[in-house]
Amino acid sequence: MSALFEPFTLRSLVVPNRVWMAPMCQYSAAPEGPDAGVPTDWHFTHLAARATGGTGLILAEATAVSPEGRISPNDLGLWNDTQAAGFRRITDFVRAQGAVVGIQLGHAGRKASVDVPWAGGGPVGPEAHGWTPVAPSPLPFDEGHHVPHELTVEEIQRVVDDFREAARRALAAGFQVVEVHGAHGYLVGQFLSPHSNHRTDAYGGSYENRTRFALQVVDAVREVWPDDLPVFFRISATDWLSENADDAREGWTADETVRFAEELRAHGVDLLDVSTGGNAPRARIATGPGYQVPFAERVKRETSLPVAAVGLITDPQQAEKILAEGRADAVLLGRELLRNPSWAWHAAAGLNVRGRAPEQYDYAI
């Protein structure tokens, strides 16, 4: 038996294995017009290939809950029904391959209105379909970036409503899992961290205030998401600021992540997708194979919330060991699945278990 290829049950949903695809932005949607934010043939091919390649759960990329919530003008969206309809052929196909399909809902906050990475990823203005970002506080992400508009309390509630409506559309589009994007320095994570949240009202200052927006978003999503389907939350377990002993800047910490995990569980979250970083542009991060796994392991060890580990997990034996040792409940692969859409087949062969493939490809495995 292989831990990597053991099914995993979340509420009524049975994921066929623990090889999961992390959400990865493709920056390939139209920036304006009736097709703005609508999935294209590229998105279909990208997600379908990993489903036919044996991946157990496919998480579609960070999908904006509003136009100003996009990272780039070319991001996917779920702020209208045309976008929801565009996802339907993707979800139908992925589910027909025996995989589970989910979507990550996000809002970029102060990191919004930037160009696609292959064009430099710098801030863009109205002449390139850009806009003024919004954030908890009027603090630019980095030098040269837009100074964001500080959200009012009324505007915060509208963003919460945007997450609710996007989740409603995600269900209509055929998704089985919805993940709230609270990681990598985007809006939900910006509220969590004192590095980016300098508010003095009910949404800033204390831990309880800084987590208020995230919990309201989770509650809004859970309100419209069926009781028999799971909700995930992706978190950056640390800003990598306090972990550096000589760095006095204050950020979100691993201790707060552990505390927050139990609160998320109480609000209906079924799994914590544990990443790190992204909120402080020059934080010092010592990377290496599985460098983020210890953060997932700590949440699993100290709380009752299931976790998925991510970050330079590339080798089948490495992934198997993480799960067999109980350090996580699943592994999320990103760039490795970009390089090899059929990674799950190769992993199964290397672990001497039978992989899952469409009938048309079955003789190949």
Catalytic positions are 186
DSSP per residue, 33-78: STTBT---HHHHHHHHHHHHTT-SEEEEEEEESSGGG-SSTT--B-
Q: What are phi and psi of 272, to 5 degrees?
A: -105, 120
With beta carbons less than 8 A apart as the criterion, state whether 47 and 37 touch.
Answer: no
Q: Are strands 307-310 and 271-275 parallel, antiparallel or unpaired?
A: parallel
H/E stretch holding 350 reads helix 343-350
Q: Which two tokens stand for residue 155?
A: 């505007």
Closest CA to 185 of 231, 121, 142: 142
Tell me the C-alpha to C-alpha distance, in Å, between residue 310 and each of 14, 23, 56, 275, 328: 20, 11, 15, 6, 10
Amino acid letter, residue 250: E
As separate numbers, helices (DSSP H) first and strands (DSSP E) second, the chain gives 11, 12
Q: Which two tokens stand for residue 2?
A: 């292989």
Specify the residue for token string 């509630």. Answer: 157
Three-class SS state of 292 = coil
Three-class SS state of 20 = strand
Rg of the chain on CA atoms, in Å: 19
Q: Please give the DSSP secondary-structure letter assigned to residue 152.
A: P
Three-class SS state of 330 = strand
Closest CA to 196 of 110, 124, 71, 284: 110
Helical H segments across 203-271, by residue range: 207-210, 212-224, 254-266
Q: Return the ∠ at Cα 237 (arms to 265 and 109), rounded to 5°.
A: 90
